């Protein structure tokens, strides 16, 4: 097994250390419920009498629980693990399982090294009893179990096994997506822990975790969950390969919107920290440059200017503002009109910027839309199909028309990509500007067609001209 490669968060940004996160976690639904469960009294004697637990298990749990012998886990680690795993396996009553899980969590929270008690090879696959509990109906049982699994997976020098890890991360992802989940802060907290481990980051990517985080962030969640999920993106971007991939999931536009709307300083701080990583961490400098351009396109410079004027007392915020300002301003200086256009198209946020209406731009660059497997054209067609924004649709129609007008084979390519059908569909759009631009684009498509047909007819007439004359004479 490989050793864990943990990001030391408290050193990188001290204000985001574990102490701050745990203060927040203490007010979560999970922790409030756990404090209530600690007050419960479990009749262990009744479990002994019904032979659901052994005498050894009974004596251990009574000494730990009722007699307060808190050093028992350290004195008898093997017995401790056996007893708790037996209790979780053989007891079915929800309130007792809740109580046992709170005990386990408290034992681990008191001393991180106690994860070794449960991860000891003598106990076989320690994950199975816990993973099984994730399928219970009781939500507290599910989420306290998830919290314990995160501690066992992150605080032990050996990594969680691949199949168990995949199951656990998939469960966390599905919990994030479920509507009205009262325990969403606890789910996010588990991910904040898990994603500090480099190997776990790629497993999270493989279960489509990054796109899930971003789709939830795009849906305007409350600021605490927003902070926690952006934190997850932040720790992910410490890996250079993941930092390079991040904007393929549309991360920069979503984070730029959060930065623009943020009224909480900690949310602002963590978004800026992600942006900095997206520039600093990629080893491919072309990707870092593309990230800078994307931030410029998403109006991040404007937000940096506002933050600069406010002059926060938070040094981390101001350091990141200065860094980002310098790098984004430098990227603007190097930006060609085609770079601007490509970034705008990739962002999916088309607007009537000057580049679209420039005849010179289209004369010089129409052919470049065929580069990289017609990536920009495919994006335009995708926007014509998926966007609900009238401005985006109108500009995309205009661009398709200009591409066809300035590139001789453009009509054929647009037809192959399904663009002509999408433009014609928009002729009946409810927005008059979209209908107008769609009509102009269709006219350009048709005129191009007529020109092509006209040339073909001229060729045919030239070929057959002599024969036709002879036939006429005959």
Q: Which CATH architecture has domain 208-335?
A: Alpha Horseshoe (1.25)
pLDDT at 36: 93
pLDDT at 11: 36
Q: In the block, which residue shows the tokens 């007792």?
A: 96
pLDDT at 191: 97
Topology of the domain comprising 355-473: 1.25.40
Topology of the domain comprising 1-195: 1.25.10
Q: Where in the chain is the domain with CATH 1.25.40.150?
A: 355-473
pLDDT at 311: 83
| Residue 413 backbone dihedrals phi, psi, to 5 degrees | -65, -45
The three-point CA angle 89-91-96 to 5° equals: 120
Counting as low any pLDDT under 50, the low residues of the chain are 1-23, 448, 450, 453, 466-474
Q: Where in the chain is the domain with CATH 1.25.10.10?
A: 208-335
Cβ burial 202-217 (10 Å sphere, 16+ → b, else e):
ebbbebebbebbbebb
Q: How far apart are CA 392 and CA 394, in angstroms?
A: 6
The answer to whether the CB of 209 falls within 8 A of the CB of 249 is no
pLDDT at 312: 81
Single pTM value for the model: 0.74
DSSP state of 59: H
Q: How far apart are CA 78 and CA 155, in angstroms?
A: 18
pLDDT at 455: 57
Residue 221, exposed/middle/buried by CB under 10 A (0-12, 13-18, 19+)?
middle
């Amino acid at each position: 097994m490989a050793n864990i490669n943990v990001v030391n968060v408290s050193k990188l940004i001290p204000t985001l250390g574990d102490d701050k996160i745990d203060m927040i976690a203490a007010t979560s639904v999970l922790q409030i419920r756990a404090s209530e469960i600690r007050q419960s009294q479990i009749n262990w004697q009744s479990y002994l009498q019904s032979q659901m637990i052994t005498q050894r298990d009974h004596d251990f749990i009574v000494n730990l629980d009722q007699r307060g012998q808190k050093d028992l886990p350290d004195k008898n680690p093997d017995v401790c693990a056996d007893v708790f795993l037996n209790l979780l396996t053989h007891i079915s009553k929800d309130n007792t399982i809740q109580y046992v899980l709170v005990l386990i969590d408290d034992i681990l929270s008191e001393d991180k090294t106690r994860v070794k008690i449960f991860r000891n090879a003598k106990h076989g696959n320690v994950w199975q009893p816990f993973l099984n509990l994730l399928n219970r109906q009781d939500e507290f049982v599910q989420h306290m179990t998830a919290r314990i699994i995160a501690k066992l997976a992150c605080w032990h020098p050996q990594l969680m096994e691949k199949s168990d890890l995949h199951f656990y991360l998939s469960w966390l992802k599905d919990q994030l997506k479920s509507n009205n989940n009262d325990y969403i802060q606890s789910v996010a907290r588990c991910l904040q822990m898990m994603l500090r481990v480099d190997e776990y980051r790629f497993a999270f990517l493989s279960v489509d975790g990054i796109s899930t985080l971003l789709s939830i962030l795009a849906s305007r969640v409350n600021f605490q969950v927003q902070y926690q999920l952006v934190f997850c993106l932040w720790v992910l971007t410490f890996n250079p390969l993941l930092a390079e991939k991040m904007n393929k999931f549309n991360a920069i536009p979503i984070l730029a919107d959060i930065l623009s709307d943020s009224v909480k300083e900690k949310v602002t701080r963590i978004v800026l920290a992600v942006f900095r990583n997206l520039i600093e961490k990629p080893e491919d400098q072309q990707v870092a440059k593309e990230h800078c351009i994307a931030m410029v396109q998403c109006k991040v410079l404007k937000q940096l200017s506002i933050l600069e004027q406010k002059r926060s007392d938070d040094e981390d915020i101001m350091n990141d503002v200065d860094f980002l300002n310098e790098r984004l301003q430098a990227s603007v200086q190097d930006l060609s009109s085609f770079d601007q256009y490509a970034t705008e198209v990739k962002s999916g946020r088309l607007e009537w910027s000057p580049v679209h209406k420039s005849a010179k731009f289209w004369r010089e660059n129409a052919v470049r839309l065929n580069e990289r497997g017609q990536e920009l054209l495919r994006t335009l067609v995708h926007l014509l199909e998926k966007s609900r924004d009238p401005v985006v649709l109108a500009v995309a129609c205009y661009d398709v028309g200009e591409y066809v007008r300035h590139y001789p084979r453009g009509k054929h390519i647009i037809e192959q990509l399904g663009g002509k059908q999408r433009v014609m569909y928009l002729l009946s759009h409810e927005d008059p500007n979209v209908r107008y631009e769609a009509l102009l684009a269709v006219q350009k498509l048709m005129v191009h067609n007529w020109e092509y047909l006209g040339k073909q007819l001229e060729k045919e007439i030239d070929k057959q001209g002599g024969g036709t004359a002879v036939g006429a004479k005959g």
